[in-house]
Chains A and B, each alone.
Chain A
Amino acid sequence: MLEVQALESAYGRIRALKGVSLHVRSGEIVALVGGNGAGKTTLLRCLSGVRPAGAGRVLFEGADITRWTPHRRVAAGIAQSPEGRQVFSPLSVEDNLRLGAWRRGRAETACGIEKVFAMFPVLAEKRALPAGGLSGGQQQMLAIGRALMSRPRLLLLDEPSTGLAPLLVDRIMETVAALRRDAGVTVLLVEQNAVAALSIADRGYVIETGRIGQFGTGAELLHDPAVRKAYLGL
C-alpha cells in the first residue's frame, strides 16, 4: 500500500533522513520506533507532504505521490494525527472533527462525527467546548478522531502515547488495534514507547539517526537483545 524508497530530507545542512526505505502492506499495523531526533516525525511529515522530500520516492497504492500537495494526499486516503496532538484549540470539539472531514459532504460528516463519538464517548460530552480545554488524553482522542474523519485507508499516528498515563496508553493502543480489526484501516504507528507500539504491531522498523536499523515482526523486535537494550531499557 505504501512504499518509501531511499527517502531523504534535511533541515538546512542537517540531514534528518538519510535514505529511509520501508513499506506498509494493506491491513497491517506497522510500528516505527526510535529515540528522540531519530527522524520519525520528519518521515511522517514527508509522507503527509508538509515537508519536502530531498531525494527518494514515496509510492501510495502504486502512484508516485512524492510531489503531491498535502490536501491531495488526504483526498487520496492518507491522514495523520500529528505529534503533540495539535488540535485547533479555539475551535469546538465538534468543529475540529468537522474540519477533519473538510472535503466531504454534510451527511457523511455527521455520520463520521457520530462514529468518533461512539468510539470516544467523552468527546461527545464536550462537543461544544473549545478543544484547547480538553485534557491531554482527550486531545489525543480528538486528534485521532479528526484524522479518521477523512475516512483514511492509511492512518499515520505520530507519538499517540506521549504524555499520557499508562492506562490511557493501553486504551489508545487498543483503539488502534480495533481500528484495523473493525474498519480495516492500515496504520503506520510512530512511537518512542517501543513496548506499547511493538506489542500491537504486525511488523516494526527501528530508526536511528535518519536510517532504518533493524526490522522484523513486532514479536521479533520485542525479543531482539540489541533492540531491548537500546530502546526498551531492558
Chain B
Amino acid sequence: MVAELLQFLVSGLTVGAVYALVALGFTLIYNASDVVNFAQGEFVMLGGMVTVFATAAGVPLPLAAFLAVLATVAVGLLLHRLAIEPARGASAVTLIIITIGASIFLRGVAQVAFDKRFHQLPGFSGSDPIPLLGAAILPQSFWVLGGAVLIFLGLWLFLERTLAGKAVRATAANRLAARLVGVDTAKVLALSFGVSAGIGAAAGVLVTPITLTSYDVGTLLALKGFAAAMLGGMGSPLGAVVGGLMVGLLEALGAGYVSSAYKDAVAFLVIVAVLFALPQGLFGRSGVERV
C-alpha cells in the first residue's frame, strides 16, 4: 500500500520535474515577450536525440550531453534571430504561430537528420532499481530530480541575485519601463530563448534513459508543459515548477489508481477544474495592483 503509493509518487515527481522544466521554458519566453513558444518541446527532443546520436558516434556520455545542450541553445538563439526578431513588432498571436511553424520545421529536420525510430540512453548510474520502503526506484529518477533542482536553483539565483536577472524580471514586469531605463529588451528575449532551449535540452538528456525519445516526442511534452504553465499561472516561475510537478503527480496517480489508459484525461480534468475556479492559475498575476 505505502510501497505502491511511494512508487507512484516518485514516478510522478520524475515526469513532473520534466514538465516543470518545459513549463519554465515557456514562462521565461512568455515573460520577455508575451509569446508562448510552442517549439519548447522540440528543445527537449533535440537534447535527447543529439545525445543519443553523439554517444552512438563514440562520444563519451557527459561530453555528448554537454554538446547536446550547447547545440540546442544554438538552435534556440537561431530561432530567435531568424524567425522571431525579423517579425519584431508583430502581434503576440503572429509570433506564437511562427513558433508553431518552427516546431513543425524542427520536427521535420530531426526526422531527416536523425531517423523515425525510438531511441534510448543507458541510465547514468546503471538501471538496477534501488529498493526503497518496498518500492523500486530507478536511479535515473534521482538524476532527473537532482538535475531539475540544480536548474531551478541556478535560475532562481540568476533572476533574484544578479542585475542581469533583475533586468529580465523588470522586462517581465513592465516592458516599456524596462526599455526606458535602457534595458535592451531584444537581448533579454534572445537570452530567454537561449536559456529556455538550454533548460529544455537538459530535461531531454536527463529523461531519455527513462522515457525513450524520438523525433516527435516534443509535441506531447510541449502540451503537458503548457498545461503545467497554465495551471501554475502563466508568467510565474514558481507556478511553472508547482504546475509541472502537479501534472506529473496527477498523471502517475491517475495511471496507478484509475487506469493507465486515462492518465492524461485525469490530469487534464483536474487542470480544467482548477482553472475553472482560478482562471489566473495557482500563482498567476491577480491583476490587482495599487495605483
Contacts and interface: CB of A to CB of B under 8 A. Distances in A.
Contacts, number: 78
A70 B179 contact: yes
A133 B180 CA distance: 21
Interface string A126-167: 000000111110000000001101100000000000010000
B166 A91 contact: yes
B277 to A, nearest CB: 24
Contacts of A132: 289-290
A89 interface: yes
A89 B289 contact: yes
B241 to A, nearest CB: 17
A103 B183 CA distance: 9
B167 A102 contact: yes
Interface stretch (A19-27, A93-101, A170-178): A93-101
Interface in A72-89: 74-75, 79-80, 82, 84, 86-89
Contacts of A70: 179-180, 182
B169 A50 contact: no
Interface stretch (B8-16, B38-46, B143-151, B170-178): B170-178
Nearest to A74: B182
B290 A88 contact: no
B182 A87 contact: no
A157 B289 CA distance: 23
Contacts of A50: 176, 179-180
B90 interface: no
Contact of B173 (A74, A79, A89, A133): A89
A84 B174 CA distance: 12
A227 to B, nearest CB: 30
A100 B166 contact: no
A69 interface: yes
B163 interface: yes
Contacts of A88: 169-170, 173-174, 177-178
Contacts of B290: 132-136
A69 B182 CA distance: 9
A80 B173 CA distance: 17
A49 B290 CA distance: 28
B169 A91 contact: yes
A98 B163 contact: yes
B39 to A, nearest CB: 27
Interface string B172-204: 011011111111100000000000000000000
Contacts of A146: 181
A102 B183 contact: yes
Nearest to B182: A74
Contacts of B113: none
Nearest to A136: B291
B165 to A, nearest CB: 10
Interface in A22-39: none
A98 B165 CA distance: 12
Contacts of A89: 173-174, 289
A71 B176 contact: no
Given A82-B176, A88-B170, A99-B170, A71 B163 contact: no
A99 to B, nearest CB: 5
B179 A71 contact: yes
Contacts of A87: 174, 177
A79 B179 CA distance: 10
Nearest to B184: A71
A74 B183 CA distance: 9
A9 interface: no
Contacts of B177: 82, 86-88
A48 interface: yes
Contacts of B167: 99, 102
B164 to A, nearest CB: 9
Contacts of B163: 98-99, 102
A90 interface: yes
Nearest to A109: B163
Contacts of A74: 180-182
Contact of A98 (B166, B178, B182, B291): B166
CB-CB nearest 9 A-B residue pairs: A74-B182, A86-B177, A71-B182, A88-B173, A88-B170, A70-B179, A71-B184, A80-B180, A50-B179
Given A88-B169, A88-B178, 10 more contacts: A49-B179, A50-B180, A84-B291, A98-B166, A99-B163, A99-B183, A134-B290, A136-B291, A147-B181, A150-B182
Interface of A: 48-50, 69-71, 74-75, 79-80, 82, 84, 86-91, 95-96, 98-100, 102-103, 132-136, 146-147, 149-150, 163
8 contacts: A71-B182, A80-B180, A102-B163, A102-B167, A135-B290, A147-B180, A149-B181, A163-B291
